[in-house]
Amino acid sequence: MADGDDFTGGADAGASKTYPAQCSSLRKGGHVMIKGHPCKIVEMSTSKTGKHGHAKVHLVALDIFTGKKYEDICPSTHNMNVPNVKRTDYQLVDIDDNFLSLMDDGGETRDDVKVPEGDLGKEIQEKFDKGEQLMVTVLKAIDDEMAIACKNMPK
């Protein structure tokens, strides 16, 4: 290497946001990209091949962040993009200005995850206000992150 060619990358340097997978290898409960949205497959059916055609796979999936339903049909031999979905548990330290202050196992803190809307957000806020110690599960896919669950920390 030439002088000055220092490589300093993060932990996920070069990691792709999605990877290709053959349609026929996808499974219910797995993840897939449909119309640019990371989704969890809830229903899947395969149709028989026609005289000169391919077997088709019919996918029904829910967006992992919004819960919106998406459908897609593709030949079983074709590739579809699968999002790299990462799930991380954090300890809730504080709630400040509608953002969660979270700490990971290594003691690193972050303040960039919003309090989720709806019942989960209310539950997190209520339990935090009562002084309960909480673990918050954060789901990350593509360029999106969202708190999807909370549970009381073991004593």
Q: What is the pLDDT of residues 54-76, one digit of tens each?
A: 788 999 999 998 899 999 999 88
With b for 16 or more beta-carbon neighbours within 10 A and e for fewer, the 82-95 pattern comes to bbeeeeeebbbeeb
Q: What one-character-per-residue DSSP string does 94-143 give?
A: EEETTEEEEE-TTS-EEEEEEPPSSHHHHHHHHHHHTT--EEEEEEEETT
Chain mean pLDDT for the chain: 86
The 10s digit of each residue's pLDDT in 75-109 is 888 999 999 999 999 999 998 888 999 998 888 89
**Alpha carbon distances (Å) from 32 to 17, 84, 118:** 12, 9, 25
- Say what the pLDDT of residue 24 is: 86
Q: 31 and 41 in contact (C-beta within 8 Å)?
A: yes
Instruction: Specify the pLDDT at position 40.
Output: 94
- pLDDT tens by residue, 14-59: 568 899 999 989 999 999 999 999 999 999 999 887 777 778 899 9
